[in-house]
């Protein structure tokens, strides 16, 4: 796909990996539609993209809420007149062990709230945005692309029952959608980043992070821009479809 003049929707486009992907697509001449919960962050991302000479529309939208997703994507098509790429990037963590027993007593469990919050945003949000974007792409008739941001944690990361389940789910959905949506000339793929330097890691204890980084052959965290370049590769290579691109510095979980 030639990105010049295309319209790219990025959920969680307010900061971190989403903002880096927005900037990378803007450099290729794509206009942006940035969805996020945080208005101030959206304003920053919009300014960054527009400094590269493209238009960036912003939409306050909780991806876990069906009515908000429908309203936001209706507004995108109304404002821009097209919808070529969706990057399903919005995500959260609520880490906890499934079960913690100390001195013969239960010291902790992952709560249903922790489980549900992550599943709502990281799995249901991806489903809702994917479904609504696919509908609009199919009806507009120009084909398109959906990229789901998965994670190395999809293989199963201790302390992340909720997150690992959701990230395995969005990788699987990319395969399903590649098969189902090819008839509308829509591709689907996923990116599985390793550990990337953004605010989301702020919730992780320093000693946990140190343990995680020790076996990374690259010997460092990834940068958001390195994930953005993976998104560009997928967008520009029309034969990349139904697969997960791993960008993790060589780490194996």
Ligand X SMILES: NC(=O)c1ccc[n+]([C@@H]2O[C@H](COP(=O)([O-])OP(=O)(O)OC[C@H]3O[C@@H](n4cnc5c(N)ncnc54)[C@H](O)[C@@H]3O)[C@@H](O)[C@H]2O)c1
Residue from 121, 173, 186, 188 touching ligand X (CB under 6 A): that is 121
Closest CA to 160 of 89, 253, 228: 253
To the nearest whole angstrom, how small is the minimum distance from the Cβ of residue 53 to ligand X? Answer: 23
Q: Is 45 in the site for ligand X (CB under 6 A)?
A: no
Under rule CB under 6 A, residue 18 binds ligand X: yes
Q: How far apart are CA 20 and CA 222, in angstroms?
A: 12
CB of 185 to ligand X, least distance (A): 26
Known catalytic residue at 163: yes
Would you state the structure tokens that stand for residue 40, as one six-digit string? 């101030």
Give the nearest distance from C-beta 93 to ligand X in angstroms.
7
> Which range of residues in 50-58, 73-81, 88-96, 111-119 is near ligand X by CB under 6 A?
88-96
Contact between 200 and ligand X per CB under 6 A: yes
Pick between residue 91 and residue 144 the one whose CB is nearest to ligand X. 91
E-only strand ranges, the chain: 7-11, 31-36, 56-60, 85-88, 99-102, 105-109, 144-149, 186-193, 244-247
Q: Are 35 and 61 in contact (CB under 8 A)?
A: yes
Give the footprint of ligand X on residues 137-156 (CB under 6 A): 149, 151
Assigned token pair, 229: 């370049």
Q: Which is nearer to ligand X, 10 or 137 (CB)?
A: 10
Considering the candidates 59, 163, 184, 239, report the single residue annotated as catalytic. Answer: 163
Residue closest to 125 by CA, chosen among 43, 70, 54: 70
> Which CB, 164 or 241, lies closer to ligand X?
164
Interaction with ligand X in 201-220: which residues (CB under 6 A)?
201
Q: What are phi and psi of 187, to 5 degrees?
A: -95, 160
Considering Cα of 200, then 174, then 60, then 236, what sign does the dihedral take?
A: positive
Q: Which residues contact 127 (CB under 8 A, 6 or more apart)?
A: 173
How many residues lie near ligand X (CB under 6 A)?
A: 31
Between 3 and 126, name the residue whose CB sits nearer to ligand X: 126
Q: Which residues make up the interface to ligand X (CB under 6 A)?
A: 11-12, 14-18, 35-38, 41, 61-64, 89-92, 121, 125, 149, 151, 193, 195-196, 198-201
Residues taking part in catalysis = 163
């Amino acid at each position: 796909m030639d990105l010049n003049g295309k319209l790219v929707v990025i959920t969680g486009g307010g900061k971190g990996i989403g903002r880096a992907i927005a900037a990378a697509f803007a450099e290729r001449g794509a206009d942006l539609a940035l969805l996020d919960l945080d208005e101030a962050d959206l304003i920053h991302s919009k300014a960054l993209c527009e400094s590269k000479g493209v238009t960036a529309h912003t939409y306050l939208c909780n991806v876990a809420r069906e009515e908000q997703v429908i309203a936001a994507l209706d507004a995108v098509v109304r404002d821009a007149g097209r919808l070529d790429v969706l990057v399903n990037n919005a995500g959260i963590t609520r880490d906890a062990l499934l079960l913690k027993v100390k001195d013969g007593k239960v010291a902790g469990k992952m709560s249903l709230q922790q489980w549900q919050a992550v599943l709502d945003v990281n799995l249901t949000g991806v489903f809702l945005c994917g479904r609504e974007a696919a509908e609009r792409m199919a009806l507009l008739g120009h084909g398109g692309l959906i990229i789901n941001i998965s994670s190395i944690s999809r293989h199963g990361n201790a302390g992340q029952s909720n997150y690992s389940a959701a990230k395995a789910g969005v990788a699987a959905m990319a395969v399903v959608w590649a098969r189902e949506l090819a008839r509308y000339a829509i591709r689907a793929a996923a990116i599985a980043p390793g550990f990337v330097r953004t605010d989301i890691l702020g919730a992780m204890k320093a000693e946990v992070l140190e343990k995680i980084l020790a076996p990374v052959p690259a010997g460092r965290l990834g940068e958001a821009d390195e994930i953005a370049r993976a998104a560009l590769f997928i967008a520009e290579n029309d034969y990349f479809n139904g697969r997960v691109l791993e960008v993790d510095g060589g780490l194996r979980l």
